[in-house]
Amino acid sequence: MASATTTKGAAGRGTLNSVLFYVFLVSFVLVSVFPLLWIFKMSIVTKTELFASPPTILPQTPTSESYGTIFGDPVFQQALVNSTIISSVTTVICLFFGSITAYAIARLRFRFKGTVMTLILAISFFPAVAIIAPLFIQFAQVGLIDTYASVIITDTVFALPLTIWLLVAFFRELPVDLEDAAKVDGATTIQAFRKVIVPLAAPGVFTTAILTFIHAWNEFLFANTFLLEPAKQPVTVAIPNFATVYTVDYGAQAAAAVVVTVPLVILVLIFQRRIVSGLTAGAVKG
């Protein structure tokens, strides 16, 4: 009798824990998604409804006026191109140098390897605002202000450590026997790396590319500081420009935010399994 009571009590606690877990999960998702849904709602309502008090929960008169405003703005169109160029070049540079560095760290044995990895990752957490003024002076002296290079260089510096960290985890999981077999067939170390290791680590390289691209796409501080000409600015800097001294076009800003955010959200949702595996790769192995 006591055993049955104990079993029922354990089952009841298990059910309660499951209910509380799903309540927390649903609440967390709603809190996370609500701002995105609200921004989307702001982008498809009229200006009258946008400033209505109390605000409407669901759009009463949907319109695409705000999207027509941003896509009809040549500055915003160029900003999309600028963001694509800066993010793509940064990603390519980080993958090239990051893969070589990560391969060396993963395969070579040397003292203080753990310390080196910690220092590499620590660069990602370094406050960028602490070096913004010295960098501006240096870039001004060499003529890099108002050029893509100024932002690409700084984005690469802060994205490269994450690239190296992720790729090291992937390269460590690949057996060394594959490289040894390639070398027996006459391949050099570089050839073995390029023709054997990189293709096998393609999922990790792809995951790293996505995360690096997102990092460069969302960067604001360096772009806002080094790119003064509107024709060179990325979307993160162009969106606030829909506000003037006297008015703020909140609908256009919301539409622009949706345009630059939704592609990244879709990208992450499609490749979320690879991203999670990339972030957890090597977590168990030393």
pLDDT tens per residue across span 204-247: 788 888 888 988 998 898 999 999 888 899 998 888 888 766 77
280 CB-near residues (< 8 Å, 6+ apart): none
The per-residue pLDDT for 245 is 61
The CATH classification of domain 72-280, taken from the options 2.60.120.260, 3.30.70.360, 3.30.499.10, 1.10.3720.10? 1.10.3720.10
pLDDT digits (tens, 9 = 90+) for 51-71: 887 877 888 888 888 888 888
What percent of the chain shows pLDDT beyond 90? 14
Q: Which of 215, 192, 179 is nearest to 95 (CA)?
A: 215
Give the predicted TM-score (pTM) of the model: 0.80
Domain ranges of the chain: 2-50, 72-280
Average pLDDT over residues 107-111: 78
DSSP lists the bridge partners of residue 284 as: none
Task: Tell me the percentage of the chain whose pLDDT exceeds 70.
Answer: 89
How far apart CA 154 and CA 156 sit, in angstroms, is 5
Q: How far apart are CA 220 and CA 237, in angstroms?
A: 6
Q: Which pLDDT value is given to residue 51?
A: 81
The span from the CA of 119 to the CA of 29, in Å, is 34
Helix axes 250-270, 202-218, angle to 10 degrees: 170
Average pLDDT over every residue of 102-125: 80
Burial of 13 (0-12, 13-18, 19+ CB in 10 A): exposed
Provide the 10 A C-beta neighbour count for residue 67. 18
Q: Looking at per-residue confidence, does 151 or 175 come out higher?
A: 151
